[in-house]
Amino acid sequence: MVNEKELQDAVKKTVEKKDVKYVVGYEKGTYGFQAKPSFAYEPKDAEKFIFSPLCVHNLAVFPMLEEKPPLRKGEEPDTRKIGVVVKGCDSRAIVQIIQEKGLDRDKVVIIGIPCSGVVDPKKIEAKFPGQIKNVDVKDDGDKFAITIDGKTTKVAKDELMPDKCKTCQYPTPVLYDILIGKEIKSSKKEDYKAVKAFEKKSMKEKWEYWEKQFEKCIRCYACRNACPLCYCKECMVDQLDPQWVRRSVDVSENTAWNLLRAFHLAGRCIGCGQCERVCPMGIPLMELNKKLEKDILELYDYISGIDAEAKPLLAMFKPDDPEEFIL
Amino acid sequence: MDKLILSKDNLPKFIDELIKKNTVFAPVNNNDIVIFSQIKKANEANFDFLNSQYPPKALIFNQTETIFKFKPGPKGDIEPIKIDEKKIIFGIRPCDAKSMAILDYAFSGEFKDPYFLTKRNTSVLIGLSCMQPGVNCFCTSFDDSPASSKYVDILLTDIGDKYYVEVISDKGKQIIKGENKFFKPAKESDEKSKKEAEKKAINTIKRTQKTEKIVEKLDKIFENKFWKEVADRCIGCGVCTYLCPTCHCFDIQDESTLTKGARIRVWDTCMNPEYTLQASGYNPRPARANRVKNRVYHKYNYYPKNYNVIACVGCGRCIDLCPVNIDIIDVVTRAGEVKP
């Protein structure tokens, strides 16, 4: 369990520095099982910071969402650092972005928190429906301790965690400036069981499955905006000339969008699962991401977002790279 | 208003009869979520639902609407579109039905919108009272009720072993007229049961939004830093607006191949950086804070000024599904407390 006082102190110290613009962390949400991203511009703002299994967001997205309005005459650009509170998975996004030169290492202050799993909001809301008051959820070994109206219930983590946490191999941030609490080691393995099972289906079955899923897509682009690795200045779906994907919302264009999104993240997706978490229509986007992750691991023995010094997969070439799929 | 009773056994029979003569839409399951879809048989519908994932406004104000078709080339052959046949929307919640009445103002002003209005005027709304409102439901904050019959043509309320049926409009009467074999006149005790069920449902709604004098209050805090604080965490996706039953902004595009084309209109969202981006490159709403503020002002300031109604029905979808917990109940309530 994370000592919140230790976290708040670290945030205070960070934001006190003149060269730090703000630190983004978490605070209590407005109801039930919600936590929300929180911004500390001043040391006192850090007092509302929390960390619990309800902190499901990947805050690495915020440095990428920084808005740079045009400067007025004589105005200097704001080049201060941004502090980000990260879990293991979130830190991999920052590493991947640094690798891609989307972010300078010295422009972020990474406050790492070892994490042994967050809750899946949908699962916990289904198990404890109708919660309006903030519910206290704590990490308790292999269980979550959920306190509602003074009564604590312990539930096995496996029951309430998203799949990404069940196979997480990087519970401790892979890159950080400050680490809150002790390192956690993981003995979990990703065996791609679900992907392998799906691969065995016929083309027709696969197509029917995804057609039904993509039919639901309303193209709100929450999957893109919640993704820290989707940081193109202009997303190809927003381009009008040429228009790669039409604005019409139908199964054909929706399929184009969803497949393009997945492919643009090939070798880059770090598996934080934000796209799937935020999808209002319940499209299981991680199934696409996991398939690509598995193929890339098998073909190139490559895992994204581990080493900030390494080159991104698509910027490398090795003479013995497999090429049997090249026509 | 006619007050009738429909037995639970007769509900599917009634729907099947309606399907024979009409295009019927109802809440249908699609992999864990419920969406209003066309049904061919009564048993395809699922009435054991809180509300549909996205609002049934999409059946009247389609996300993608073809305005006309054309053949590219110097002649510019234009083929007009026959606007959809009439629909029965079966099982619409009272809040979503109210949203249609709110949208009427936007689409029937000086320039009447034939696409929306034709579908709106020919469609029949058969409502289903909401007996178990969700965590973020707050229709009662606008003096409405989860069992309100105000905005539907017919309202069904589950009163235990049967449905209490209120037939409100002439369109509703026409529907019942053909199918009166399924209905019995309601007794006074049935009306009492409905009122009790309604009261019970109202009592389960715990969250309230404070909207007293909100129009005037918002007028005074347009430039307040409060909006930046609200918008800091916004990631700029379209969840809140696309799932909103009263949002109605759209974009118009020509989509064509070498041989055929169509002018379409699609939902737009004020969360999109391209929204209000002008050809000159100037954007009056350049930052997310401007855009988040626009969503709130449109609903709680501009709309009430123009049409004397708040453009929010309290369905709670934007709260349930916001990826970063931007909570309209909290935002508006706090906005009312901000010192100008």
**Does A249 sit within 8 Å of B64, measured CB to CB?**
yes
Is the pLDDT score of B177 beyond 80?
Answer: yes
Task: Assess whether A59 and A163 both reside in one domain.
Answer: yes
The reply to whether the predicted model has a pTM over 0.90 is yes
Range of the domain at A35: 4-67+76-179
Residue A321 lies in a domain: no
Task: Assess whether A248 and A300 both reside in one domain.
Answer: yes
Task: Assess whether A156 and A51 both reside in one domain.
Answer: yes
Predicted confidence at residue A149, as pLDDT, reads 93
Residue A34 lies in a domain: yes
Please give the Cα distance from B80 to B92 (Å, whole number): 31
Task: Assess whether B172 and B225 both reside in one domain.
Answer: no
Residue with tokens 């100037």: B282
Minimal Cβ distance to A218: which of B32, B242, B327: B242
pLDDT, tens digit, 9 for 90 and up, residues B273-325: 989 999 998 999 999 999 999 999 999 999 999 999 999 999 999 999 999 99
Task: Assess whether B29 and B137 both reside in one domain.
Answer: yes
Task: Assess whether A58 and A129 both reside in one domain.
Answer: yes
In sequence order, which residues have a C-beta less than 8 Å from that of residue A36 and are 6 or more positions away?
Answer: A26, A27, A28, A29, A30, A57, B233, B324, B325, B326
Predicted confidence at residue B271, as pLDDT, reads 95
What is the Cα Rg of chain B in Å? 22
- A130 contacts in chain B (CB < 8 Å): 134-135
Residue A322 lies in a domain: no
Q: How many domains does chain B have?
A: 2
Range of the domain at B180: 2-204
Query: Which H or E element spans position A20?
Result: strand A20-28
Residue A131 lies in a domain: yes
Mutate to test the interface with B, among A48, A214, A220 (most CBs of B within 10 A): A220
* SS3 (DSSP) at B159: coil
Q: In this structure, what token pair is assigned to residue A143?
A: 């269980």
Please give the Cα distance from B98 to A218 (Å, whole number): 22
Minimal Cβ distance to B237: which of A130, A226, A282: A226
Residue B271 lies in a domain: yes
Predicted confidence at residue B174, as pLDDT, reads 94
Task: Assess whether B272 and B154 both reside in one domain.
Answer: no
Nearest-Cα distance to chain A for B180, in Å, is 37
Residue A250's CB: how many other CB atoms inside 10 A? 13
Residue B134 lies in a domain: yes
Task: Assess whether B106 and B136 both reside in one domain.
Answer: yes
Query: pLDDT class for B67, splitting at 50, 70, 90?
Result: very high
Task: Assess whether A118 and A223 both reside in one domain.
Answer: no
Region B118-131 average pLDDT: 96
Query: pLDDT class for B74, splitting at 50, 70, 90?
Result: confident
Region B33-47 average pLDDT: 96
Identify the domain boundary among A134, A157, A179: A179
Identify the domain boundary among B154, B186, B204: B204
Minimal Cβ distance to A37: which of B206, B233, B266: B233
Nearest to B33 by CA among A214, A213, A282: A282
CA distances from A324 to A299, A312, A321, A327, B12 (A): 10, 22, 10, 8, 57
Residue B265 lies in a domain: yes
Minimal Cβ distance to A247: which of B53, B134, B266: B266
Predicted confidence at residue B119, as pLDDT, reads 95
Predicted confidence at residue A70, as pLDDT, reads 81
Please give the Cα distance from A263 to A267 (Å, whole number): 9
Residue with tokens 């941004």: A82
Nearest-Cα distance to chain B for A222, in Å, is 5
pLDDT, tens digit, 9 for 90 and up, residues A222-262: 999 999 999 999 999 998 888 899 999 999 999 999 999 99
Identify the domain boundary among B204, B228, B263: B204
pLDDT, tens digit, 9 for 90 and up, residues A1-12: 789 999 999 999
Nearest-Cα distance to chain A for B88, in Å, is 21
Nearest-Cα distance to chain A for B256, in Å, is 10
Task: Assess whether B156 and B276 both reside in one domain.
Answer: no
Residue A187 lies in a domain: no
Task: Assess whether A175 and A197 both reside in one domain.
Answer: no
| CA atoms in the 13 A half-sphere facing the CB of B10 | 16
In sequence order, which residues have a C-beta less than 8 Å from that of residue B140 and are 6 or more positions away?
Answer: B146, B202, B205, B208, B314
Most confident of A312-316, B41-45, B71-75: B41-45
DSSP type of residue B187? P
Task: Assess whether B28 and B140 both reside in one domain.
Answer: yes
Task: Assess whether A151 and A200 both reside in one domain.
Answer: no
Predicted confidence at residue B31, as pLDDT, reads 82
Residues in chain A: 327
Identify the domain boundary among A179, A207, A239: A179
Nearest to B90 by CA among B20, B160, B156: B156
Please give the Cα distance from A309 to A296 (Å, whole number): 19
Mutate to test the interface with A, among B54, B317, B325 (most CBs of A within 10 A): B325
Predicted confidence at residue B172, as pLDDT, reads 96
**Does A238 sit within 8 Å of B274, measured CB to CB?**
yes
Task: Assess whether B88 and B235 both reside in one domain.
Answer: no
Closest alpha carbon within chain B to A283: B31
User: What are the residue ranges in chain A where pLDDT is below 70?
Assistant: none
Is the pLDDT score of B201 beyond 90?
Answer: yes
Residue A324 lies in a domain: no
- B63 contacts in chain A (CB < 8 Å): 218, 249
Angle at A102 between CA A98 and CA A106, to 5 degrees: 55
Task: Assess whether A168 and A197 both reside in one domain.
Answer: no
Chain A contacts to B (CB-CB under 8 A): 29-32, 34-39, 57, 61, 65, 67, 69, 129-132, 212-213, 215-216, 218-222, 224-226, 238, 243, 246-250, 274, 277-278, 280-282
Please give the Cα distance from B118 to B62 (Å, whole number): 12
- A221 contacts in chain B (CB < 8 Å): 237-238
Task: Assess whether A139 and A229 both reside in one domain.
Answer: no
Q: What is the DSSP string of B279-332?
A: TTS--SS-SHHHHHHHHHHIIIIIHHHHHSS-S-----HHHHH-TT---HHHHH
Closest alpha carbon within chain A to B262: A248
Nearest-Cα distance to chain B for A191, in Å, is 25
Task: Assess whether A113 and A212 both reside in one domain.
Answer: no
Predicted confidence at residue B90, as pLDDT, reads 98
pLDDT, tens digit, 9 for 90 and up, residues B241-279: 999 999 999 999 999 888 899 999 999 999 999 899 999
Task: Assess whether B222 and B318 both reside in one domain.
Answer: yes
Residues in chain B: 340
Please give the distance of CA A173 from its chain centroid, rounded to a whole number: 13
Residue B209 lies in a domain: no
Q: How many domains does chain A have?
A: 2
Task: Assess whether A39 and A124 both reside in one domain.
Answer: yes
Task: Assess whether B82 and B163 both reside in one domain.
Answer: yes
Residue B319 lies in a domain: yes
Nearest-Cα distance to chain A for B202, in Å, is 15
Identify the domain boundary among A147, A179, A211: A179
Residue A160 lies in a domain: yes
| Cβ(A135)–Cβ(A153) below 8 Å | no
In sequence order, which residues have a C-beta less than 8 Å from that of residue A137 and are 6 or more positions away?
Answer: A33, A52, A53, A54, A119, A124, A144, A145, A146, A147
Please give the Cα distance from A10 to A179 (Å, whole number): 9
Q: Is the ipTM of this complex over 0.90?
A: yes
Task: Assess whether B166 and B184 both reside in one domain.
Answer: yes
Residue B281 lies in a domain: yes
Region B156-163 average pLDDT: 96
| CA atoms in the 13 A half-sphere facing the CB of B269 | 23
Please give the distance of CA B89 from its chain centroid, rounded to a whole number: 12
Task: Assess whether A149 and A30 both reside in one domain.
Answer: yes
CA distances from B308 to B217, B296, B301 (A): 16, 16, 10
Residue B340 lies in a domain: no
Identify the domain boundary among B204, B238, B267: B204
Task: Assess whether B151 and B293 both reside in one domain.
Answer: no
Task: Assess whether B192 and B96 both reside in one domain.
Answer: yes
